[in-house]
Each structure stands twice: as structure tokens, then as C-alpha cells.
Structure 1
Amino acid sequence: MEIARPQTDARPSPVRGPTPGAVLALLKPITWFPPMWAYVCGAVAAGAPIGERWYLVALGILLAGPLICGTSQAVNDWFDRHVDAINEPDRVIPSGRMPGSWGLYIAIAMSGISAAVALLLGPWVFTAALFGLAFAWAYSAPPFRFKQNGWVGNGLVGFSYETLPWLTAAVAVLGHPPSWTMAGIALLYGLGAHGILTLNDFKSIRGDREMGIRSLPARYGAGMAALIACAVIALAQAGVIVMLHMAGLDGHAILIEALVAAQLLLMVWFLRDPVSRAVLYSAAGVGLYVTGMMVAAFGLRGLAMPV
């Protein structure tokens, strides 16, 4: 007597890819603003007429934000998936919304797309984009994984998010490297971004310590890390103010002094409880910081434009 066996479907199940929403979550649009804003600041500061070169600005904004910054987010989430499983298990990769190795595939594809778009903007922008992409991978991926050191990693990201887009935009609009004054101010704003990035590390102290990531809060404790972050943010802007005064842009320098004064009041409040107040301080303080960037850009534009 034969025993009936249940029928099974021998066909392999289709490979499930991520949804468009999961891809967007991986690329984190909320993080695109800083490099896009820095690119606009660089274009404004260059002083050259933008009307005939509007496409350079538009493509550059696309390159700085959705493409290169989006790439950096995909790379970071892929190589941080084990840390995120501890700190933020609801993120797109540890939650399973980005299955298999799709996070890595998207990071590689975005790198190629970014390089192709940068090539359309000329050799200066293409070279800058290659540096930006290299920094994005070196920050998160072995063997470098610079994010394991809060000093080096945040410095690299600050340079990539603020200084590099600013200078790249200026070169794209001008067709040649910017002035030393503009380069110095762009560098200072990138340095100040180091402190802003430290604010993002307060939410992951436990996981960073478990995984050996030496972010400033994990390394020095919340109180000292908050003090360092505030000092870096304030001192970088103090340097910008000095440079603007030296360039004869006293009115713009005074406006930034007022913005820094407001930030100092927020810093006093933040330092009393940095872990619980980091997000709120970041929301308010960063707005004042980036406003100062545009004030400085318009000042530099006045210097660059012919009388």
C-alpha cells in the first residue's frame, strides 16, 4: 500500500528586494540638507553670475545631497548593521526591510551614479566627488573605518559635509579655485561641523562601547563630550568672525556674532543634561549655525563681485 505524500512546490521562492520606501530610508533624505546647503553657500560666495550656469548649481546640489551623501548613508548603514541591531534595531537593515546584501549593492550602485554625474560637471568637481566617495567608504568600511575614532571620523565627515561641497561649488561656478579667505571660512565651518556630529553620538553610547567605537561620548562620557562639542562649534565660528572682520566685512561678522550669542545660551541649557537634550539642541543650534554660513557666503560674494 502506497502512502500519499503531500504535494510540495519545488519552485524556489522569488528573491525579495527592498521596497522604494526602504531604499529611501537607507539613503536618509533628512541628512542631505547640510551638504546641499554648503554647496549653495559656495555658489553664492563665488560671486559669479549663476543665471547662465544654473545647471551647474542644480546638478551640484543633486550630487552633494541625494547622491554622495545618500551613498555615505547607505555605506554607513551596511557596515554599521551589527551596531544598529543594538542601538537602533528599527533601522532599515537590522529590521529586515532591506534584505540580504541589498544595502551593499545600493551603496556600490550609488557610488557609480555619483561619479558619473560628477563627470558631467568637469574635472574639478569629478576629482572632488571622488574624494568625497573615498571618504564615505573609508569612514565606515574596513580596513580604515575611521568612525571608530570620534576625533578622526567626525572630522572627516565635517570636511565632507561642509568644506568640500562649499569649495566644489565655488570651483564649479568660477572655473578656478576660490580665494584663500573663502577656503579658510569653508574649512572653519567644516571644523565646526565636527562638534555638531558629536551631538548625534549621544544616542548610541551603549552600543558604541559594546562594539568598540570610540565616539567622544563613549570615550569621555556625556558631560565632557558635550563640552568638547560646544567648544568646537563656538571656536570655529569665532574663527569665521575674525576672518570676516579682517576682510572688512564687519556687518556680516556682527550678524554672526549675534547668532553665536544665541547658540551660547542654548549650549548652557544643553550642558545641564546633554544625553536627553542633544536632539533638541541640535534642532535649534544647527539652524543658527547654518544661517551663519549663508551670512558669511553673502559677505564673501560682495568681495568677489566686481565694483
Structure 2
Amino acid sequence: MASAKETNLTLAPLRVAPASLPGFRVCLELLKPVTWFAAIWAFVCGAVSSGAPLAGRWPELLLGMVLAGPMVCGTSQAVNDWFDRHVDAINEPDRPIPSGRMPGRWGLYVALIWTALSLAVAVPLGRWGFGAAVFALLAAWAYSAPPLRLKRNGWWGNAAVALCYEGVPWFTGAAVMRGALPSAPVLWLALLYSFGAHGIMTLNDFKSVEGDRRSGIRSLPVQLGVAPAARLACVVMALPQLVVIGLMIAWDHRLAAFAVGLLLACQLGLMGRLLQRPRERAPWYNATGTTLYVIGMLVCAFALAGGGA
């Protein structure tokens, strides 16, 4: 059940445009193309890690990238913006829905239409691709929409997003390319990098602390405070990579282990600067440290492909 603060906020008036069809640019803004990269990258990592030859599989690869990014990730953004429209009225009032540029209830309609289209796109990818899409879409709605609204608690909400942005696309890419359940090493990497992405999601919450606090959303910066949440995020991002390094050594991928270790060392240096002013420097770290994090994902994916995993 939503808190009293969140319920009261939901009743606050918003600027609403006349009921008409939304423009293409407004719909595209609602789907947030800038967020698609993470899911597309994870899908490509999964496809590479499967070791399956890409020759003759380009249609599946391209369709999977569309499914992971514009479709499923785009759906999650539309769902989140609709159910967060009153929170965004505080944090980011210029977004399409609170600003009134998205007319009437079209924010919700776009989320529903994009959900249906995502399922249609997933059908040609077989039972593994379709099943993963169903799971990711259910998680997207559970994250933002009542009654679950997982985002009300940063522990559960960030875990759901991290899994759907990293683990599920990685799994999907490997499963679609192989047409079967991915190998244990592939599953371990998908899980570990999903765990680390929980810290990345925590950094993303720094931009909305005020609105979250006022609306009863208990993000980790709200629960723990900005500085402790930043330290936790750094630990959560670093620990899985240490485990990945150990696994790469155990699987006799020593060059990959060295590369991931070097990338992690650079991240640790950047984390020191982040922790000095975490709220102001979170976007900077996402552009630098997070980039090194995802490069490590691809390094490991190529290592598994080369080793026949």
C-alpha cells in the first residue's frame, strides 16, 4: 500500500494538454532512447558469449537488439513515467507527461501499446526470446505500477531494474543465438554483472532524492543518506567484478582476467573522486566508470566465446 505522502501527491493537479494524439517527438522522448544502450549492449554481450557464429544469424541478432532496447526498455520507460508523473512534477517537470506535452492518458496508452508490440517482436525469437521478454515486461510493470510498485523500496526496485537491464538481455542474447539454455559460465557472468548494476541504479537515484523523499519512495539515497548510499554503490559495483576476475582465472581466461582487473583499478580511482561529491558527480561517473564496467562485460563475453563456453 502506498504511503500517505505518496497518495496525497498522486492527487496533485498536473498540467494536461487537450485530449489529442501525441506527436512523434513527444512519444520518442517518453521512450527515452538514451536508456536503450545498456540493454542492447547486454544483449550483444550475451550473443557474443554464446560462441555461436553470427554468420546467417544477423536477423535474430538485429531483432533481439530491437527487442532489448527500443521495445522492452522503451516500454519500461513509458510505464515508469506514467506512474511517476507526480514525482516527476517535482524532480523533472519538463518531462512529457507532467509538462502536459503528452495529452490526456496517452502516457499509459503508449506503455500498453508498446508492451503488446514488444511481445509481437519477441515471437520470431523462439521460446527463449519470448519467455525472456515476458519476464522483463512483467518486471517493468511490477517496478512502477501498483500494487507491487517495487521502486518504493530501493533494494527491490534496483534489483529488478539491474536484472532486466543486464542479466535478462545477456541471457536472451545467448539463448537466442544458441537456441538453448546458455552454459553455466554465461549464466554466472550475466548474474554477476546484474548484481553490480544494482550499484549503478543507486547512482541514478541521486538525481531524484527530493521528489522521492516527498512522495514516500524509499530509494537507497533516501533510506541511507547520499554519502552512505554512494559508498554502498561502489562496493556493490566492485565486488562482482572481483568474483568475475577469479572465475576468469579459474576458467583459464587469464588475459581477460587481467583486462577486467585493469578496468576495475581505473574504476576504483574514479570512485574516489565520486565519493568526494557523490550527488553532483554521479552523472560524471556514469559516463566514465560505468563505461569501463560495461567494457569489461564485452571482454568476458569474447573470452567465453573463444573458449567455447
What is the TM-score with the length of structure 1 in the denominator? 0.94
- 1:14 deviates by 8.0
Of 133, 143, 151, which residue of structure 2 is paired with 1:129?
Answer: 133
Q: Report the AA paired with residue 245 of structure 1.
A: I
Instruction: Give 1:15 deviation, angstroms.
Output: 3.9
**Is 1:250 the equivalent of 2:254?**
yes
Per-residue CA deviations over 1:44-70 (Å, capped at 9, x if unaligned) read 111111111111100000000000000
- SS of match in other structure, 2:45: helix
| 2:85 aligned residue (72, 81, 88) | 81
Taking the TM superposition and a 5 Å limit, the aligned residue runs for 1:225-244 are: 225-244=229-248
Q: What SS does the corresponding residue of 1:51 show, helix, strand or coil? A: coil
- 146, 149, 164: which one pairs with 1:145? 149
Q: CA RMSD in A?
A: 1.1
Alignment correspondent of 1:264 = 268
List gaps (5 residues or longer) in structure 2. 1-16
Find 2:41's aligned residue among 25, 33, 37: 37
What is the SS of the residue equivalent to 1:32? helix
User: Does 2:286 align with 1:285?
Assistant: no
Separation in 1 of the partners of 2:241 and 2:277? 23
Distance 1:246 1:183 in 2: 16
Aligned AA (1:172): V
- Percent of counterpart pairs with the same letter? 55
Shift of 1:35: 0.5
**Given the alignment of the two structures, is residue 104 of structure 1 paired with residue 117 of structure 2, yes or no?**
no
Please give the alpha-carbon distance, in whole angstroms, between the structure 2 residues aligned to 1:109 and 1:16: 16
Q: Kindly tell me the number of residue pairs found equivalent between the two proteins.
A: 293
**What is the aligned counterpart of 1:209 among 206, 210, 213?**
213
Assess if the C-alpha contact under 8 Å between 1:159 and 1:191 holds in 2.
Answer: yes
Question: 242-251 or 134-143: which moved more?
Answer: 242-251
Amino acid at match of 1:208: D
Provide the TM-score with structure 2 as the length reference. Answer: 0.93
Q: Deviations over 1:59-84 (max 9, x none)?
A: 00000000000000000000000000
* Deviation >4 Å, runs of 4+: none
The 2-side partners of 1:216 and 1:115 are apart by: 32
Preserved CA contact (<8 Å) 1:185 1:243? no
Whole-Å Cα distance in 1 between the matches of residues 21 and 233 of structure 2?
Answer: 40
What are the Cα deviations for residues 246-294 of structure 1, in whole angstroms up to 9, with x where unaligned?
1110100100000000000000000011011111111111110110010
Q: What whole-Å deviation, never above 9, does each CA across 1:159-199 have from its counterpart, x for those lacking one?
A: 00101111111111111111111100110001111100111
Q: 2:204 aligns with which of 200, 209, 215?
A: 200
What is the distance in 1 between the residues matched to 2:304 and 2:217?
A: 39
Counterpart amino acid of 2:298?
A: M
Gaps of 5+ in 1: 1-12
Could you give the per-residue CA deviations for residues 107-156 of structure 1, whole angstroms, max 9, x where no partner exists? Answer: 00000000011011111111110000000000000000001110111111
Which of 206, 228, 236 pairs up with 1:224?
228
Partner Cα distance (2:57, 2:277) in 1: 47
> Does 1:174 find its partner at 2:178?
yes
